[in-house]
Amino acid sequence: KLDAKILRYMTSDEFRVLTAVEMGSKNHELVPLSLIAQIAALRHGNSHKIIGELAKKNLVSKIKNAKYEGYRLTYGGYDYLALKTFVKRGSVYSVGNQIGVGKESDVYIVADESENQLVLKIHRLGRVSFRAIKSKRDYLQKRKSASWIYMSRLAATKEYAFMKVLYDNGFPVPQPIDQVRHCVVMELIDAYPLRQITEVKDPGKLYSDLMNLIVRLAQYGLIHGDFNEFNILVKDNGDPILIDFPQMVSISHPNAEWYFNRDIECIRTYFRKRYNYESMLYPKFQLDVNR
């Protein structure tokens, strides 16, 4: 869980040491204390004491076995660094309630300096797999999770880039606001996921809006890749807003047609089961997507 309170309880030396661990991580899976002390430019004894405090707060973890000894960032430490940057840039001022727990992320309502409500999506890849590998040895486990942090950053970077290009080109997606490390800040959409909406006024209209959206995306060169009832928010006026982009693929991907058909099928199946709505009309990759 994200602990917003820790933002207040960190000294500048602690911040230096935490930043040093992150910098050391760029070329060390486990960052040796000597390197941390060197980057932080504190006396070895001080770094030693401070790293112990960071470990107690769960912002770094120490890995020690016969072969290796060193430190790495935890998700907690990475969250802290990302939030600190957002706060410095003014894009986040305070953290509110958690609104979503996806498989791959935690989603919070946050506010900026002008008290505008926004959404903070923290990517957390490897959460499930992390449990699955519990039987493995300690070192392997923690080593794994270091690369999950890297993968989560990649997911956030991709998500922000896709969101930006879509938003700038008039697609119905949240406005991207900022991105740092494994986090994305975006517009808060005042709507619920399709999954939670028990009554849709005009299923036929929504169905064709969604099919048109899939085709428009593909004509623009992109396939969402996870186009389902959880990733479509429906506004009061019935308009859909699309979210959740890290997995998007290009229509020049070798399996593009398969991804495209899967998105289409996902909506057809949902409308059939949930609204008893079935249409003969649905887009075909070869016909509807100009390549």
By CB under 6 A, the residues from 142 to 171 that bind ligand ATP are: none
Choose, from 79, 106, 112, 226, the residue flagged as catalytic: 226
Nearest position to Mn ion, beta carbon: 244
Report yes or no: 191 and 236 within 8 Å, Cβ to Cβ. Answer: yes
By CB under 5 A, the residues from 98 to 157 that bind Mn ion are: 102, 104
Stretch that binds ligand ATP, among 20-28, 53-61, 211-219, 228-236 (CB under 6 A): 228-236
Residue with Cβ nearer Mn ion (244 or 263): 244
Number of residues lying near Mn ion (CB under 5 A): 6
Type of residue found at 97: N
Residue 99 interacting entry, from Mn ion, ligand ATP, none, C-beta within 5 to 8 Å by type: ligand ATP
Residue with Cβ nearer ligand ATP (163 or 211): 163
Minimum distance between the CB of residue 86 and Mn ion, rounded to whole angstroms?
A: 21
Would you count residue 225 as binding ligand ATP (CB under 6 A)?
no
Specify whether 226 is catalytic.
Answer: yes
Residue with Cβ nearer ligand ATP (42 or 233): 233
Would you count residue 178 as binding Mn ion (CB under 5 A)?
no
Would you count residue 91 as binding ligand ATP (CB under 6 A)?
no
Stretch that binds ligand ATP, among 40-48, 63-71, 96-104, 134-142 (CB under 6 A): 96-104
Residue 256 interacting entry, from ligand ATP, Mn ion, none, C-beta within 5 to 8 Å by type: none
Would you count residue 240 as binding ligand ATP (CB under 6 A)?
no
What are the phi and psi torsion angles at 103 (to 5°)? -70, -30
Residue 56 interacting entry, from ligand ATP, Mn ion, none, C-beta within 5 to 8 Å by type: none
Place of tokens 């959404």: 119
Type of residue found at 34: S
CA quadruple 281, 283, 287, 290: dihedral sign: positive
The residues that touch ligand ATP, with contacts defined as CB under 6 A, are 99-100, 102-105, 107, 119, 121, 174, 186-189, 193, 230-231, 233, 243-244
**Residues in touch with Mn ion (CB under 5 A):** 102, 104, 226, 230-231, 244
Active-site annotation, residues: 226
